[in-house]
């Protein structure tokens, strides 16, 4: 009986610990971070999710020419690739071990933050091309979106 109670107590403590850890969500609110390490983990997973969405959208829009099928992913991309969603995860001190972020992010915060605006513009242009079912333009917009990501990574990521 004692071992059963101990096991249940351990299980409840484990669940409580998991509940306190911010998890990457498909869109949704940016969690609040207790420490820089949590922010690093969250943003890494969130940015990987955005990268997966862009690959799926390339398949939807370029390969399949399916704007209607791409609509839910486009909406999710707009939500997840916004400055409002991502910027709070770039808390000062969240570089170093385990992070690919360069300290220059915080030294050049205004320029870095402006990059989110450019990212949002690229996503909006991609959505407009998809809504117009202009697949040639959607292909170019996907390329421009990728260039926007790469230029930021070159400057602010190791």
**What confidence score (pLDDT) does residue 34 get?**
87
**What confidence score (pLDDT) does residue 118 get?**
97
**What confidence score (pLDDT) does residue 13 get?**
36
Bridge partners, 157 (sequence order): 101
**What confidence score (pLDDT) does residue 8 get?**
36
**What confidence score (pLDDT) does residue 17 get?**
37
Secondary structure class of 81 (helix, strand, coil): coil
From first to last of its 158 residues, what are the pLDDT tens digits of the chain? Answer: 444 344 333 333 333 333 343 444 445 677 889 889 999 999 999 999 999 999 999 999 999 999 999 999 999 999 999 999 999 999 998 998 889 999 999 999 999 999 999 999 999 999 999 999 999 999 999 999 999 999 999 999 99
Secondary structure class of 157 (helix, strand, coil): strand
Burial 102-126 (b: 16+ CB within 10 A, else e): eeebbeeeeebeebbeebbebbebb
């Amino acid at each position: 009986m004692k071992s059963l109670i101990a096991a249940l107590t351990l299980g409840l403590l484990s669940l409580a610990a998991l509940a306190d850890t911010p998890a990457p969500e498909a869109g949704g609110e940016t969690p609040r971070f207790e420490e820089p390490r949590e922010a690093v983990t969250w943003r890494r997973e969130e940015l990987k999710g955005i990268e997966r969405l862009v690959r799926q959208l390339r398949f939807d829009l370029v390969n399949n020419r399916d704007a209607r099928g791409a609509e839910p992913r486009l909406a999710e991309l707009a939500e997840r690739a916004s400055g409002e969603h991502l910027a709070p995860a770039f808390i000062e001190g969240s570089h170093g071990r385990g992070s690919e972020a360069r300290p220059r992010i915080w030294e050049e915060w205004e320029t870095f933050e402006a990059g989110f605006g450019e990212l949002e513009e690229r996503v909006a242009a991609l959505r407009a091309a998809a809504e117009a079912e202009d697949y040639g333009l959607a292909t170019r917009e996907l390329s421009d979106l990728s260039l926007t990501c790469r230029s930021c990574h070159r400057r602010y990521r190791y």
